[in-house]
Amino acid sequence: MITRMSSLFLRTLRENPADAELPSHKLLVRAGYVRRVAPGGYSWLPLGMRVLRNIERVVREEMDAIGGQEIQFPALLPREPYEATGRWTEYGPNIFRLKDRKGADYLLGPTHEELFALTVKGEYSSYRDFPVILYQVQTKYRDEERPRAGILRTREFVMKDSYSFDLDDDGLERSYQLHRQAYIKLFDRLKLDYVIVSAMSGSMGGSGSEEFLAESEFGEDTFVRCVESGFAANVEAVTTPAPPAEPIEDKPQAQVHHTPNTPTIETLVDFLNGAGLGRTFSAADTLKNVMVKIREPSEKDWTLLGVGVPGDREVDMKRLEAGLYPTEVALLDDADFAANPFLVKGYIGPQALRDNGVRYLVDPRIVTGTVWATGADKVDHHVVDLVCGRDFTPDGTIEAAEVREGDPSPDGVGTLVAARGIEVGHIFQLGRKFTDAFEVDALGPDSKPIRITMGSYGVGVSRLVASIAEQHHDELGLVWPREVAPADVHVVIAGKDESVRDGAEKLAAGLDAAGIEVLLDDRQSSPGVKFADAELVGVPTILVVGRGLANGVVEVKDRASGERTEVAVDDAVGHLVKLIRG
Ligand code: ATP
Ligand code: MG
C-alpha cells in the first residue's frame, strides 16, 4: 500500500507538549501518533494505529503458535462474578463502577479472570476437554491514581490477557512455560531490551509469577539483580536472608537512658556515641519501630501494627503492602496517635506494643540474641542492650525494609544492584482461586470431579508502543524496529521538478507491487521540512528521490545509523526488497 502524506491525517508538531517528560511521550505526540483526550485517555491517530496493530499482530501470532484461541468479552460487565470472588471490593478505587438505568451495578473490566473461568465452566465438563488456553486483545479500564507518561499508564488501555486451564499442577507448569517462551519470542521480535524478574503475584494471590520489564531509567518498577548469579527480582519479591540466632546468656542487661532531644535515628546515634557507653553505635544498631494501621478488605475498622526494622533502613511501603496483601495498609495520622497515647512519637519501643496488645512484625535480620538500642516509650528516653528473644519477642517477620544495592542476593551468590524497568508483561500461576469460587470442575476418567487450575498472563499492548519508543529513538525522533514500524519505506520527494516527482511515483509503485508498505511524502513542502518529518516519524528506511535522479541514482538512508547509500534507480526496488525482507 502507498500512503500519501499529502492526504494522511497527520500534523507533526515542532514543540514538545507541555505535560510531557519522557522522550516517548514527547515524540509520540510530536510525530502525530497519539493525542490526549483526558487524564489517562488518549486517541490513536493513523500512524499510531498502525504501530498498535502491528504489535497486536505479533502478539496474536505468538499466542496462536502456542495453541491459544482468541475470544472476546465485553468490557462492560455485571457486578455478580466479581462479587463472587471478592474483587468487586478488593480492587478498591482502581475499578470503574457504574449503574445502568435500572440501578443494577456494572463495572468496566480491569482484567477478566472471572469471565474466563465462568465461560470454561459453561462449555467444558470432561477431563478430555483440557488443557485449553484462551485469550483476548481487549480494552481494559482502571481508575489509576496517577495516569502517567502519555500512553504508558492510562485509564483505558489495550491488554492481551490469556488464561490457561489445566487438570493438575504439572499441566499448569507446562502452560506457564509455553507462555514464558511465547513472551520471550514476542518481545525479541519487538526488539525490546527486557529482563524477566520474579514477582509477587499482586492482587491475584498465586505462586509462580514473573514479570517482563523493559529496561528504562523512567520505569516505575525498581528491580534488583545479581551480576554473579543472574538472579533478578522485583523489589517486592526480594527476601532477606536471616543471620543465625545468637546466644542470649552473654548479653548485658538492658538499661534505660535519658537521651534528651533524640527523636530521630541520627540524633540518637550521636547521643549514644557521646554518652561514654564504652562502644560505638551506628544506625544499624538501632531498632526503628514504624507504626501503621491495617484493615482486612471486608472490614471497616483499622487495627494497629508495629513494624520493626534496623535503623539504617527505611520502611518501603510497596514491600510492606505486598507482604500484607490483600490487607490494606496506611500510615498513622495525628488522630491515631492521639487515640493511642501509649505511642510516644520518636520513642516507640516493643515494650509498649506488647503491653497494649499491638501486633509487632520485624525485619528478618532481627533474630534471637541480637542486641538493639530503641525507644523506651517515654519522651527523651531510649533503652540500650535490648535483646531479641529475651526482652522482646516479635509476633513474626515481615519483608518491609528497603532493599539496597550491595545487599546480599537471596540465592546466596554475590550482591544486588538496582535498575528500573517498565512492566510490559506478567505471567503467573494463579492456581484455584477463581475455579474454587465458581466450582470449575472436569469429570475425571473415574467420574470424580477434578478442580481445574488456572494461569493468567498479560501483555500491555498499548503500553508497548511507548516502551518500544522509549528504547528506540534519538534526538531527531522515533526509530522503529521493522516489525512495528508504520511503514517499510518512507519515500521523500526532494524536489519540485516533474521528473523527480514522476521518478518517485514510479519507485513507490514498484515497491508497492513488491508488497512493500510505502509512506510517500508527496507534499508541496520544502525538502528540509520533509527530511525533519521523516526523522521524526521514524520509519526505519528512508528513500530520497532528488537531484541525483538526473544521474540515475537515489539515496537510501538508514534511520537508525544515519548511513546513506547511493543506489542506481533501476536497482532501487530490488535493493529495498532485499533490505526489508532480509
Ligand atoms: P502496573 O504495576 O504497571 O500497574 P499491573 O501489575 O497492574 O501493572 P497487570 O494487572 O499484570 O498489571 O496487567 C498486565 C499488563 O497490562 C501489565 O504488565 C502492563 O503491561 C499492562 N498495564 C497494566 N496497567 C496498565 C495501565 N494503566 N496502562 C497501560 N498498561 C497497563
Ligand atoms: Mg496496576
* Interval 509-543: pLDDT, tens: 999 999 999 999 999 999 999 999 999 999 999 99
Q: Give the mean pLDDT of 216-227.
A: 89
Same domain, 137 and 265: no
162 in the same domain as 42:
yes
- Among protein residues, the one whose CA lies closest to atom 1 of ligand 1: 423
Domain with 510 in it: what CATH number?
Answer: 3.40.50.800
CATH number (domain holding residue 227)? 3.30.930.10
Examine the domain organization and report whether 116 and 190 are in the same domain: yes
Residue 475 lies in a domain: no
> How would residue 200 be classed by pLDDT, with cut points 50, 70 and 90?
low
- C-alpha of residue 464 to centroid of ligand 1, in Å: 11
Instruction: Give the whole-angstrom CA distance, residue 461 versus residue 97.
Output: 24
Beta bridge partners of 132: 165
Determine the Cα–Cα distance for residues 39 and 91; give it in Å rounded to an integer: 20
> Would 88 be classed as within a structural domain?
yes
Phi, psi for residue 156 in degrees, rounded to 5: -130, 120
Identify the residues whose C-beta falls under 6 Å from ligand 1.
111, 142, 144, 153-154, 157, 159, 202, 423-426, 458, 460, 462-463
* Residues 373 and 454 occupy one common structural domain: no
Check residue 230 and give its pLDDT: 83
Rounded to whole angstroms, the Cα distance separating 565 from 186 reads 31
Which residue lies with its CA nearest to atom 3 of ligand 1? Answer: 423
Ligand 1: residue whose CA is nearest its atom 26: 153
Decide if pLDDT at 179 tops 80. yes
Q: Is the domain of 301 the same as that of 371?
A: yes
Asked if pLDDT for residue 203 goes beyond 60, the answer is no
Which residue's C-alpha cell is 524536489? 495
Residue nearest to atom 7 of ligand 1 (CA): 202
Tell me which residue has its CA closest to atom 8 in ligand 1: 423
Q: Are 232 and 332 found together in one domain?
A: no
Are 183 and 308 contained in the same domain? Answer: no
- Residue 457 CA: which ligand is closest? 1
Specify the pLDDT at position 276. 87
Residue nearest to atom 25 of ligand 1 (CA): 153
pLDDT(204) > 60:
no
Neighbour tally for 144: CB within 10 Å:
17
My answer on whether 366 and 294 are in the same domain is yes
Ligand 1 atom with least separation from CA of 211 = 18
Q: Do the Cβ atoms of 297 and 312 come closer than 8 Å?
A: no
> For residues 434 and 111, is the Cβ–Cβ distance under 8 A?
no
Is 231 in the same domain as 259?
no
The pLDDT of residue 206 is: 42
Same domain, 177 and 225: yes
Residue 282 forms part of a structural domain: yes
Half-sphere exposure of 277 (CA within 13 A, CB side): 21
Pairing of strands 518-521, 2-4: parallel
Identify whether 404 is part of a domain: no
Tell whether 479 is covered by a domain: no
Structure confidence at residue 74 (pLDDT): 97
Percent of the chain whose pLDDT exceeds 70: 99
- For 44-95, the pLDDT digits (tens) are 999 999 999 999 999 999 999 999 999 999 999 999 999 999 899 888 889 9
Atom number in ligand 1 closest to CA 422 = 3
The CA 110 to ligand 2 mean position distance, Å, reads 9
Asked if residue 151 belongs to a domain, the reply is yes
Terminal Cα distance for the chain, rounded: 19
* Residue 262 pLDDT > 60: yes
Domain membership flag for residue 484: no
pLDDT at site 370:
96
459 Cα nearest atom in ligand 1: 15
- Kindly state whether residues 128 and 191 are assigned to the same domain: yes
Backbone angles phi, psi at 425, to 5 degrees: -155, 155
Quote the domain boundaries for residue 567: 489-581
How much is the pTM? 0.82
Is the confidence at residue 202, as pLDDT, over 50?
A: no
Q: Is residue 155 part of a domain?
A: yes
Encode pLDDT of 420-435 as tens digits: 999 999 999 999 989 9
Length in residues, the chain: 582
- Tell me the pLDDT tens digit for each residue of 449-499: 999 999 999 999 999 999 999 999 999 999 999 999 999 999 999 988 999
Residue 64 and residue 185 in contact, taking contact as beta carbons nearer than 8 Å? no
String of DSSP letters for 220-232: SEEEEEETTT--E
Ligand 2 mean position, distance from CA 396 (Å): 29
* pLDDT score of 191: 97
Structural contact between residues 361 and 395, judged by C-beta atoms closer than 8 angstroms: yes
Q: Tell me the pLDDT of the chain averaged across its residues.
A: 94
The CA distance from 521 to 504, in Å, is 10
Listing DSSP states for 93-104 in one string gives: GGSEEEE-TT--
Sheet of 328-331, strand order: 328-331, 287-295, 303-310, 359-362, 396-397
Indicate whether 456 and 326 sit together in one domain.
no
Domain count for the chain, please give it: 3
Burial code (b: 16+ CB inside 10 Å, e: under 16) for 68-85 equals beeeebebebeeebbeeb
